[in-house]
Amino acid sequence: MTDTNARRMHAVTGETRELVDLVLDYSRRRILSEDTPLDKPLPEYELRRLAGQTVSEKGMGAERALALFEHVLAPACITTDHPRYLSFIPTAPTKAATAFDLVVSASAVYGGSWLEGSGAVYAENQVLAWLASEFGLPATSGGVFVQGGTLGNLSALVAARDSARALRPDFDGRWVIVCSAEAHSSIASAARVMDVDVVSVQPGESGVLGGEAVRAALEEFGSAVFAVVATGGSTNFGIVDDIASIAALKDEFDFWLHVDGAYGLAGMLSPLARDRFAGVERADSVIVDPHKWLFAPFDACALIYRDPEAGRRAHTQHAEYLDTLTDTTEWSPSDYAAHLTRRARGLPFWFSLATYGAAAYRDAVTASIQLAERIAEEIERRDGFRLVRRPQLSVVVFEREGWSKEDYSIWSARLLEEQRAFVTPSSHAGRPNTRFAVLNPLTTFEDLVDILDTME
């Protein structure tokens, strides 16, 4: 009986065909939907009341399980690709990328080694090579798609420390990472995992970290500094550090330059923003998340090394059962980050890029920057509103004068309750504010103006 049940889950039967049809029909409707609600979270007690116990010995069947997801569980999840999802950093995958994500799972592709997935790895590497070229990195650069920016930053910094250890074998102090005080929280998280110290440098009023501030830290901490992290588009403001002046310090000091461009580095595709990223071409590693401003589904971060061998030396895992992989020179993505098993998460992006072409991506990124500039001008024009900083990329931070943190929270909750928008409160330097993260090509100026009108 046990054997029969085990086989039933994997065998192709009439029941299986019905199950697949159910799932594909729902997926088709969702992908092609033009009016998917914004939706909102539900408290656990309400989900318990509506969904009950979903896991049992005998199961509930595919039809009931899918209906439960469609009508109870999915509506309790905010739709991150909605045009009025403007909080955090949204996602807006193309239809091609979303559809191909189904193909990746259906194809049972393993993306960890060349031996098992050379076709998938070849396609992913084509995209990584294109990105590296856009960023001005040499043709010999390479890397891997990982889960997200946190894992990408950690993996790059592990490779950086490994390289520093090889160069300074006699160093026995505490290793140090230098970054902006406005660097992403994942840098501090990586430091905790690695048991190294972080020196946070104040970037000044502009929020832009420059070479002179970094120089002071390098002179103070000397050979303990194994990496400097420059931010290529901060999450809160979209600020790009003065990467060129930081990179110039490599002529005098020995450190690994990592550019955290998880959100913003995609801005290099637009002629409106490309100049802001001067100096990226000197980086030893960079990351950019296609699931943000490159219109891929969760979860995908491109980690690119100037010298891929540095990543391979730091991350290749060794075991007897892996010898057949590690004893070759073939490109195995598992060797380039802090992971082993991996899905070919770069393929949906590859399919979309191959389908639509790079020009369509350049136009979409440019449109986001233009819309951010336009709404920033509208905010400046309105009485009672204050633009906190001019947008460099596509994040617009502003204040409603006189509003407290509670005012923003009440307003934000009302917007979501009314299904008008998802815009959360934020803050800077102790002052509450809010922000528009404009990435979705379907977001319109009229959408943003309508939201501003609710604050009058």
What gap in Å lies between CA 411 and CA 395, rounded to an integer? 20
Say how many C-beta atoms besides its own lie within 10 A of residue 91's C-beta.
Answer: 21
pLDDT at 343 exceeding the cut of 90: yes
pLDDT in tens, 409-426: 999 999 999 999 999 999
CATH class of the domain at 358-453: alpha beta
> CB of 390 within 8 A of CB of 139?
no
pLDDT in tens, 123-135: 999 999 999 999 9
> What is the pLDDT at residue 204?
85
Q: Which of 267, 255, 266 lies closest to 228, judged by CA?
A: 255
pLDDT at 388 exceeding the cut of 60: yes
| Amino acid letter, 344 | A
pLDDT in tens, 205-262: 899 999 999 999 999 999 999 999 999 999 999 999 999 999 999 999 999 999 999 9
**Beta strands 176-180 and 197-201, pairing class:** parallel
Q: Please compute the mean of the pLDDT values over residues 282-287 and round it to a whole number.
A: 98
Q: Which of 45-54, 179-188, 315-324 has the lowest mean pLDDT?
A: 315-324
> CB of 376 within 8 A of CB of 390?
yes
> What is the pLDDT at residue 54?
97
Pick the CATH number of 100-356 from 3.30.460.80, 3.90.1150.10, 3.40.50.12780, 3.40.640.10: 3.40.640.10
Arithmetic mean of pLDDT over the chain: 96
Considering the chain, what percentage of its residues have pLDDT values greater than 70?
99
pLDDT in tens, 56-99: 999 999 999 999 999 999 999 999 999 999 999 999 999 999 99
pLDDT at 1 exceeding the cut of 60: no
| Amino acid letter, 324 | T
Burial 190-213 (b: 16+ CB within 10 A, else e): bbeebebebbbbebeeebbbbbeb
Identify the bridge partners of residue 301 per DSSP, sorted by sequence position: 146
Identify the bridge partners of residue 402 per DSSP, sorted by sequence position: none
Q: Which of 364, 337, 379 lies closest to 266, judged by CA?
A: 364
Token representation of residue 48: 């318990």
What gap in Å lies between CA 308 and CA 144, rounded to an integer? 10
pLDDT band at 2 (very low <50, low <70, confident <90, very high): low
**Beta strands 225-231 and 256-260, pairing class:** parallel
pLDDT at 321 exceeding the cut of 90: no
The pTM for the full model equals 0.96
> What is the pLDDT at residue 11?
86
What gap in Å lies between CA 136 and CA 140, rounded to an integer? 11
> CB of 108 within 8 A of CB of 356?
no
Q: Where are the domains of the chain?
A: 2-77, 100-356, 358-453
What lies within 8 Å, CB to CB, of 433 at 6+ separation is 388, 397, 398, 399, 408, 425, 426, 427
pLDDT in tens, 102-130: 999 999 999 999 999 999 999 999 999 99
